[in-house]
Every structure is written in C-alpha cells, then in structure tokens.
C-alpha cells in the first residue's frame, strides 16, 4: 500500500485546504484559550460575589440582631436610674410604647417578673399594636387589648392562660444569668418560629427581678435573604450548628408543620435542591457535623457535572449566637458570557473559514491557470505543434509564474531552433547518402563484366563503321 504524500494532492485543493486548516487551528486555539480564561474569570467572579454577599448578610444580620440588645441596655439603664421599675406596669407600658413607636426593628417588647407577671406591646402581626398584660388581677390569664394612637389600652381582645416563666426565652435568660439568646421556638400568640434576645434583670442584691425580651421572627431574616441579588440561580441560607434551617432566600418556610405546631426544618430536607446539595457536601466536608466548622472559608463542589461555589461564614456574638451563613452559586450563572463568547467565536470562525475557502479556491485558480497554459503549450510541443501564442499572456506577468513562462518560452524556442536545424542536417545527410549510394552503384555497373562486354561490343561496332566508310 502506497503511503499518502502531500505531493499527490492537487494544488487546486491543497491551497484552500491549508488555509482552512490554519484558520481552524487558530480559531480553535483562540476559543480554547478564551474558554479557559473565561472559566478562571467566572470562578474568580463567583468567589468574589459569594464573599461580598456573605459579608453583606453578616453585617445586616449582626446589625439586625444587635439592635434589640441595645434597647435592653437602654431599658436596664432606665430601671437602674429609677426612671421605671418592673412592678410599675403603667410606667413600663409608656416606656415600651415610646420605643416601639420610633422603630419597627423591635416589633414586640415585653418583660416578665420573677412573680410570673407579664407586660408587652406587640406590633409584629397585622401592624396594629396590641397591649398584653398579666398582673395580679388577671392571673393566671394574660389579657390582650387594642390600643389608641396615643398608646392607651382600648378594648380587650383576648384572654388566655399564660405562664411566662415556662417559656423558652425566660428559661434561657435565667440559665445564662446575662444577656443571651433564646433557642428557636414557637411563639405563643401566633404559631410561628422565632428567636428572642433576652436579658435578666437583678436588684442591687443580685436577686432576679425579671427578664426583658424582644421577639424576632425568622421570616424577617428570610425576607432579607430573599431580597438579596445574588445570581440568577444562587441562594443564601442560614443554619444552626445542629443543621436546623434558620432562614433561606428560597422562599420556603424554615419549619415543618406537626400537630398544628411548627418545628425547625433540617436544612438537609429543604425543598430547594441547591440548598440540599450544598448541605450534603458540607456534611461530607466537615465529617457530618457542622460543629466542626471553625472559621469561614470558600468551598467548591461538583454535582452532576456542574461546579458550585459556596462561601461559608459564621455569625456569632458574645451572647451565645452561633449560626452558619452560606451563600452558594452554580457556575452556569457566570458562564453565560463565556459560552456566548464561544458562540460568537464559532460563528465568526465559520464565516472566516468559508471566506478563506472561497479565497483559497480563487487563489489556487489564479495560480493554476497560467500553469495549465504552460502545460498545454508543452503538450502541443510534445506533439510537434509549435504554437507559443497562448504563452504570451503568462510571459507578460511580472511574478514568478511570468519568470517561469519566459524561461519556458526561451527553452521552447531553443528546442524548436535546434530541432529545425537537426531536420535540415538530416535532410542534407540523407542527400549525401543518396548521392554516395548512386555513385557506388554506377561504379559497380561500370566495373561489371557485362558493362565491360557492352563497351567492348560498342567499340567494335564503331571501328567497323569507320572501316566501311
């Protein structure tokens, strides 16, 4: 089997083929380098975005959670200065009303005394403030009143049995003995999950007088996370160390319904696929326990052929708060420009390839046409037809092909001249040969016995004739 050789390819196809090959290699290499650079840029952008969003979440959550404690500090200062006391329900109502009237960041201010009495002003549900009180006269029931625009109790709306000292927020404050956070629990007035920053209040002898509290619903945090512009398919969520979901940008509620009550939802059981995948890989990374997360870091994981980037940060304070903030984005959200650039490169490459192929065929025709002319003239010369007229067009060219044609023309003229001279010499030689042959034949005849006898007879006849005369 003969080996393939480049010299066996026609110039008509070799030139377009080589041009197309060069362009394909160049465009392919450019596209590959562009794609690799785009991947690197996408990864950098994804990491930067997750870090920035996570930082915003940390700042906002820290501010959101710090403000209630500031109100506690203010109220403790008022109590310590004698401006109010927990036994003065009228004075405490006015103090709380003034505070909930100036900000929506503390929607529900309340306190409970060590005797089991309770007072609070709640604006967290429905927007209309209500006044709640459990005193010696109403015990063991807590009464709920509507309020006037000036903060005065107006109409009794509800009466229900209530023991504040059995509530998770009260127990957390007493157990800590200092400002702290309650566990996430179900609120009593409305069956929703929330958390309460609380602070115990002591008299000058160190005896517990009561506990100050503010309710914060987890939905407020979820609403904030949902308002963030992350990426088209990115999500942010917050989990506790035990893996329970605190809040998420997904729009789902971070709890499950069981027997009419809400229970915290395991993040691994989230309705959102991205949250579940992220939690799965986090558990694999941290040996199945979020308590092993000691500091913030960036992680990358793959699932079903797609890369995901996540930023993990810790939200904590000196009061016992210890949450994990996670921002995760899929790589496809950042590969859009890269893939679009590849499509544009491919389209541009296809156009250039077509143009180059057409140009290659035109170029090959431009080169081959004079070569064919020289070839045709050479074929005619081979058949002894000396017609160099078609060659004149090529001879007039100033490029290499014109130079080749001129050399060929000169060579053809020289060959023609030599052939003409050779023919003339052949004719002359033939004539000489014929004359020599004729002379030889004449000599042979003259010298033959027959011719000698004839000459002798002729001589005798001439002599006889002269004698007769």
Q: Give dist(CA 17, CA 361) in Å, integer.
A: 9
Q: Give dist(CA 198, CA 106) in Å, integer.
A: 12
Taking only the tens place, the pLDDT of each residue in 267-303 is 999 999 999 999 999 999 999 899 999 888 999 999 9
Q: Quick check: 265 and 254 in contact, CB under 8 A?
A: yes
Q: Which SS3 state, helix, strand or coil, does residue 106 take? A: coil
Q: Quick check: 96 and 121 in contact, CB under 8 A?
A: yes
pLDDT at residue 378, rounded to an integer: 72
What is the dotted CATH code of the domain comprising 10-58+225-331? 3.30.450
pLDDT at residue 1, rounded to an integer: 46
State the SS3 of 294-356.
CCCEEEEEEECCEEEEEEEEEEECCCCCEEEEEEEEECHHHHHHHHHHHHHHHHHHHHHHHHH
- CATH 3.30.450.20 in the chain is located at 67-219
Q: Quick check: 154 and 148 in contact, CB under 8 A?
A: yes
DSSP for 212-254 reads EEE-EEHHHHHHHHHHS---TT-EEEEEETTSBEEEETTS--S
Does residue 420 have a pLDDT over 50? yes
pLDDT at residue 138, rounded to an integer: 93
Q: Give dist(CA 52, CA 69) in Å, integer.
A: 26
Q: Which SS3 state, helix, strand or coil, does residue 264 take? A: strand
Q: Give dist(CA 404, CA 371) in Å, integer.
A: 9
Does residue 332 have a pLDDT over 80? yes
Most confident of 59-73, 258-272, 428-442: 59-73
For 72, 87, 393, 465, the CA distances from 209, given in Å and listed in that order, are 15, 9, 117, 195
Does residue 446 have a pLDDT over 70? no
Does residue 372 have a pLDDT over 70? no
Q: Quick check: 249 and 235 in contact, CB under 8 A?
A: yes
Q: Quick check: 119 and 75 in contact, CB under 8 A?
A: no
Q: What is the mean pLDDT of residues 383-395?
A: 66
Rounded to two decimals, the pTM is 0.69
Instruction: Give the residue carrying structure tokens 């893939």.
Output: 339
For 33, 391, 442, 450, the CA distances from 454, given in Å and listed in that order, are 111, 67, 15, 6
pLDDT at residue 394, rounded to an integer: 66
Taking only the tens place, the pLDDT of each residue in 24-75 is 777 777 667 666 666 666 777 888 888 899 999 999 999 889 999 999 999 9
| Domain 67-219 CATH (choose: 3.30.450.20, 3.20.20.140, 3.20.20.105, 3.40.50.1260) | 3.30.450.20
Taking only the tens place, the pLDDT of each residue in 178-235 is 999 999 988 877 778 889 999 999 998 999 999 999 999 888 898 899 998 888 899 9
């Amino acid at each position: 089997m003969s080996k393939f050789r480049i010299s066996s390819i026609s110039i008509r196809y070799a030139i377009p083929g080589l041009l197309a090959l060069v362009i394909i290699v160049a465009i392919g290499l450019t596209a590959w380098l562009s794609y690799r650079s785009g991947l690197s840029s996408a990864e950098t952008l994804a990491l930067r975005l997750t870090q920035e969003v996570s930082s915003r979440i940390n700042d906002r959550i820290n501010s959101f959670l710090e403000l209630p404690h500031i109100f506690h500090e203010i109220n403790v200062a008022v109590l310590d200065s004698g401006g109010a006391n927990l036994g003065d329900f009228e004075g405490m109502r006015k103090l709380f009303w003034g505070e909930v009237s100036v900000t929506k960041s503390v929607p529900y201010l309340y306190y409970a005394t060590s005797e089991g009495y309770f007072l609070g002003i709640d604006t967290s549900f429905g927007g209309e403030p209500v006044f709640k009180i459990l005193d010696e006269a109403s015990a063991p029931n807590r009464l709920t009143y509507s309020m006037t625009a000036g903060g005065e109790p107006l109409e009794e709306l509800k009466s229900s049995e209530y023991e504040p000292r059995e509530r998770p927020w009260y127990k957390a404050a007493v157990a800590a003995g200092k400002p702290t956070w309650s566990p996430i629990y179900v609120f009593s007035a409305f069956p929703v999950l929330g958390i309460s920053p609380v602070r115990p209040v002591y008299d000058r002898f160190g005896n517990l007088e009561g506990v100050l509290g503010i309710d914060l619903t987890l939905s407020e945090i979820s609403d904030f996370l949902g308002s963030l512009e992350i990426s088209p398919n990115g999500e942010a969520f917050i989990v506790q160390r035990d893996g329970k979901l605190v809040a998420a940008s997904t729009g789902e509620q971070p709890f499950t319904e069981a027997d009419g009550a809400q229970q915290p939802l395991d993040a691994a059981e989230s309705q959102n696929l991205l949250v579940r995948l992220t939690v799965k890989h986090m558990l694999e990374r941290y040996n199945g326990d979020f308590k092993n997360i000691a500091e913030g870091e960036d992680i990358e994981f793959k699932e079903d052929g797609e890369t995901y980037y996540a930023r993990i940060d810790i939200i904590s304070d000196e009061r016992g708060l210890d949450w994990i903030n996670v921002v995760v984005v899929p790589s496809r959200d950042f590969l859009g420009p890269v893939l679009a650039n590849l499509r544009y490169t491919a389209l541009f490459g296809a156009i250039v390839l077509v143009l180059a192929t057409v140009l290659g065929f035109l170029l090959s025709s431009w080169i081959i046409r004079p070569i064919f002319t020289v070839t045709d003239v050479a074929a005619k010369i081979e058949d002894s037809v000396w017609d160099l007229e078609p060659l004149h067009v090529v001879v007039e060219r100033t490029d290499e092909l014109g130079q080749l044609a001129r050399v060929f023309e000169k060579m053809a003229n020289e060959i023609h001249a030599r052939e003409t001279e050779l023919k003339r010499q052949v004719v002359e030689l033939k004539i000489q040969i014929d004359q020599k042959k004729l002379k030889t034949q004449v000599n042979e005849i003259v010298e033959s016995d027959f011719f000698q006898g004839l000459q002798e007879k002729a001589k005798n006849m001439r002599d006889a004739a002269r004698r007769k005369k």
